[in-house]
Amino acid sequence: MSECSLLVDFNTTSSEKEADNDLFELLQSCPIPKNELLSNLGLFIKRQDLSRILFFHDLYQKIINVPGIIIEFGVRWGQTLALFESFRGIYEPYNYTRKIVGFDTFLGFPSVHEKDGSAEFIKEGAYSVTDNYDEYLENILSYHEKKSPISHMKKYKLIKGDATETFRKYLEEHPETVIALAFFDFDIYEPTKVCLELIRDHLTKGSIVGFDQLNHPDFPGETQAMKEVFGLGRYRLIRSPINPMPSYMVIE
């Protein structure tokens, strides 16, 4: 198994994997004409994936009246960034200040800390992507920009590298930054803690800080980072009834 396929199916039964393979074969052999296929991808969205899309849709609606940018820490294949672009185009198409920024090494975990636990997939390089994927993703995000109003103003940014360094540099270059939504999907301790510390002075009342692996036994580092920076007793953590994994807190 390649590094970039690690963890994709670690919580999936053999019968579910077989069903997923069948669905993929149906997608590959889809007889829908090319000019209509993109409009019918709902045929192939699994319930679990749809619930995740709906979760991010709900998060976006909660910050529409909050000024600031949206940041995803841990982009990987970039679907969430593309979703945020679409949600902006739907709900606030002329809000050119709602920039969407993604941080990722695109090489997997740069390192791991002892607080990240001992699961077999917690290792340097896990969650990598295919070569030059960031360039491919840039083209995808550019397409979504072009399909939205005021497309001549670039309102997204993809930043490659270790976010403990690149995010610090971003804030130095953009001291005006207010963060409406920050979603953490690093999964591991060190970059999560560093970036949580860095966002604190850029949040406002109503800002949302979300987490993908909070309270997950295989990814203890994310929870420990959150506890050390924000504390469990100071903010109310909220989970979605339609998705068991992600959670978030609202700065009040």
Task: Please tell me whether residues 35 and 74 are part of one structural domain.
Answer: no
pLDDT at 30: 97
Instruction: Please check the confidence at residue 213 and state whether its pLDDT lies above 70.
Output: yes
Task: Please tell me whether residues 201 and 118 are part of one structural domain.
Answer: yes
Tens-place pLDDT, residues 53-107:
999 999 999 999 999 999 999 999 999 999 999 999 999 999 999 999 999 999 9
pLDDT at 5: 43
CATH number of the domain bearing residue 162: 3.40.50.150
Read off the tokens for 58: 């709900």
Domain that holds residue 25: 1-44
Alpha-carbon torsion (229, 67, 182, 167), positive or negative: negative
Instruction: Please check the confidence at residue 4 and state whether its pLDDT lies above 60.
Output: no
Read off the tokens for 224: 């420990």
Span 13-23, mean pLDDT? Answer: 91
What domain count does the chain have?
Answer: 2
Evaluate whether 247 touches 239 at the Cβ level (below 8 Å): yes
Q: How far apart are CA 50 and CA 58, in angstroms?
A: 12
